[in-house]
Amino acid sequence: MLDVVRGWSRRGRLGILLGATTAGFVAAALWPPHPQDPAYHNFADQRVLLHIPNALNVLSNVGFLLVGAWAFRRTARSALAGWERVAGFVFAAGLVGTGLGSAWYHWAPSNATLVWDRLPLSALFPTVFAVAIGDRVSSTAGRVLLAPLVLGAVASVIYWQRHDDLRFYGLAQFLPILLIPLMLVLFAGRRPTAPLIAGVVIYALGKVAELSDGPIFALGSVVSGHTVKHLLAALAAVLIVRWLVFESLDDARRERP
């Protein structure tokens, strides 16, 4: 199937990718303004442990801090150069910032603290998207788009904060999640596919757990869906970091599905 799709003309495959991207922007522009639901802050697990409010939702952010520190170390020790090395450090900084911002938000949930959770989080998937473009479509395009994609995602959080409209934040977060698998189908690349696909799938499962916050907590009052989301997102980040700092073509042949 992949051979058939990649047998299409490059212009045609680029047209599919650009068409899907344009459709996402048009849908976001036409969608009515979407304010933040005040009920979003009412998490199922509000237990206090060791004088920490909403303790498990706060403490589960340690995973982001650990993976972020590891990502810094792995990127620094890698042979990545130029803009891809910058992307590795941006992703690592986003993970550390997400761990700190999310912990602060869950300590005292409100729109005012949520912005510090979303600002670093917003940069993660646009960074992955830029590297995927560089790997699968054009290295020049990935390099040129890295800064605009990251800054645009951060701007979407600021737009939400000022106008209480989540449309463009949702676009910055979810459009890359949809376009990355499409890119992997349409174009061959140097990096192995498996770690990135697994990371995206695990992150998507985390989002499902987040939407099931209460029902998961009701299963035994052990852990909530939001805490599970933090843990799955940190695991997804491990796989994505492995993909981001991948260097060896020989390793790619061994890992490629």
Torsion of CA 185, 149, 175, 67, to 10 degrees: 80
Residue 31: its pLDDT value, please? 93
> How many other CB atoms sit within 10 Å of the CB of residue 93?
17
Pairs from 2-9 (Cβ < 8 Å, separation ≥ 24)? 2/185, 5/185, 5/186, 6/186, 6/187, 6/188
CATH of 2-255, one of 3.30.420, 3.10.450, 1.20.1070, 1.10.1200: 1.20.1070
Query: Per-domain residue ranges for the chain?
Result: 2-255
Residue 256: its pLDDT value, please? 38
For residue 152, give the amino acid letter.
G
Structure tokens at 232: 């799955």
CA 207 centroid distance within chain: 11
The 10s digit of each residue's pLDDT in 55-93 is: 999 999 999 999 999 999 999 999 898 999 999 999 999
Residue 253: its pLDDT value, please? 38
Closest CA to 182 of 134, 136, 249: 136
Closest CA to 176 of 193, 194, 152, 143: 152
Residue 249: its pLDDT value, please? 38
Rg of the Cα trace of the chain?
19
Q: What is the pTM of this model?
A: 0.91
Do residues 166 and 36 make contact, with C-beta atoms less than 8 angstroms apart? Answer: yes
Residue 101: its pLDDT value, please? 98
CA quadruple 236, 97, 117, 47: dihedral sign: positive
Which residue ranges of the chain lie beneath pLDDT 50? 248-257
